[in-house]
Structure 1
Amino acid sequence: MRVVGEFGVIARVLARSGTARVADVGPGDDAAVLRAPDGRVVATTDVLVEGRHFRRDWSSAEDVGHKAAAANLADVAAMGGVTTALLVGLACPPDTPTTWLEGVAAGLAEECAPLGAAVVGGDTVSSAPDSGAVVLSVTALGDLGGRAPVLRSGARPGDVLALAGRLGWSACGLAVLRRGFTSPAAAVAAHRRPAPPYAAGPAAADAGATAMCDVSDGLLADARHLAEESGVLVDVDRAALVRATLALPGPLQQVAAALGGDPMAWVLTGGEDHALLATFPAGTALPEGWVPIGTVRAGGPGVRVDGEPAEAAAAAVGAEGTGHAHFR
């Protein structure tokens, strides 16, 4: 096995990183220099830990790169912005194959390219040999394009709760992989490479969305974040949610039937699809890709499903809790 060293790794990774449209100075110096056309910068960070967020025996290096980028790009979209650049911190064992790191870089670049974004810098470090784990810390920078940022705290009683993107697919794919299978392929692919509706975030901001967040921990869990920040009660309409997510037969129903479960458990509490959840004033014409799934009411703060507490609704479909929570 050839040892290329830190700078050899960096050179190979950067060769696959693409170019950011806003970069005046890209990788290679002590820091990148980026243009900020709006005069403001959206910034967010996510950390992916091997064994917690991905497994190398389940996902290719390219899959890991796509997933790491998607988690951050979705957060920028949820503010109403568009990602312009990424910074990546990487810790890995000394014997990590360079080809695997090149694959991660390729996945990051492919996920960012349609937005005109790219990796513009970062850091690499050797992790403790006995840990064996790869850790990726990705920081995304974005541009609001003149829009006001859409916060979690703006929902008001009478607003419509709406969804863009899919729910439950990543959790379904994870359930498949945990049982040693790789089919249905669509569900497994959804876990390996989320497909957030990036354009829906800026579109929602332009349409007057009052609050927005991405669904990374589960619909009920993230709706609670929005409800608590806004001081309101969010009531999910189960029938509308079924129409939006389970109206057509697909992998969720197929896998749930095979496992003897309820696909609504994944829809309500499954994370890592990075759909977008937003509230709009009543009567707003929802942008393309957005569908109504509930209402905002006075009271709370909290989340209900057809008036039933979120915890009870989750338990009724066999879900353990209302979504993911670190350190729980």
Structure 2
Amino acid sequence: MSLLMPARLTHRKQQTERIYGRQTPWLGVDVGTHSIKLAVVTRNRRGQWNLDYAQRIPWPKDAEPFSSADRFGEALHEVLRQAESVWRTKNLTQVAFSLPSSAVSTQDLCHDADDLATIHTTATQTIREIYGSRPEKLAFDVWRPDPVEDSFADPPTSQLLWAEPDVVKNCVEVFRDCRLTAEILDMPPLTTARASEMLEGARESELIVDWGVTRLTLTWILKGRPRFTRYSIQSGVADLVQSINDAQDLTSTDTELVLARYGLPADTISGFNRTIEKTAADSLEVLLDEIDCTLTYLGTRYPRRTIDRIVLSGGGAAIRNLDYWLTSQIGIDSVQWMLPFGDGQATWQSLDPIPLFAHAASLSGLGYES
């Protein structure tokens, strides 16, 4: 059986009805290019999600985990050992994971799903442009999602998942060595859609702005399903952090703490808020431009649809008052991705902001799917 098949299963599981009873959560593992983020979520009988555990662990120094599949497996094993006591204590046995340079494409593939040669050509072109990955190292899984119950929906299109089989295989083997069973491989924007549904007051039509270190990803979610994804590989929050480092003579760690504590101007404005806004003006302008371009495209393509809310996730979402500032600039209600703490507050081992763990929490939430 293909190791990529569980991703198809994950997609179908999203369409099923949730079970709100007591179940064993899964360990969500979001494997990133700079760190690994782990999360465990719980769900009460009223259907409310809580964050029970979250931890970000950077890759070992000089590990170069993505130089080869073997190096990746060794580095992953070293990182997971640092958090092994968590799933031992919580009796976790199942894990769902995601990988960098892998994703599910929501781009319209206007070909029959059986026309794999044509889809492969389209996919490799997209992968080179967006991710810079080497398509010859990748494997693909193609399927047709169930149609959205929407009178304005486009005709059914194919969706595509890609990943490196050697890396996936090493992941599964490392998890097995840690006495964890890995059966689900899931990717953005499917994880993004599920993360948005975890929030209270989820809207029918939302734009998820995932502002990562090196890349900005914008995903339109309609009725819990991703309908459009746009990437900007030159718009990560790293540029903003670097500009403040240079202006204030701070380290990156200090700058992240300053952004989380003070952030942008809001109701209570200090001179330092204004200093941050002025120093970060170029990066904030890029963010606004990317959001505006996305909203313009969606308004043209789907004129009878409006965006009800913007949800911010990723490292950039940790900037204090960014949601308030964005609402004032764009005029659309904006919120940080945020879950309340559950009963396991004692296992909270991270000073990192909660929006960083949106994907990992989404993966953990698969344990509550029917």
TM tier, smaller = 0.3 to 0.5
Bigger RCO (CA 8 Å, 6+ sep): 2
Greater per-residue helix proportion:
2
* TM-score, normalising length: structure 1: 0.32
If the length of structure 2 is used for normalisation, what is the TM-score? 0.29
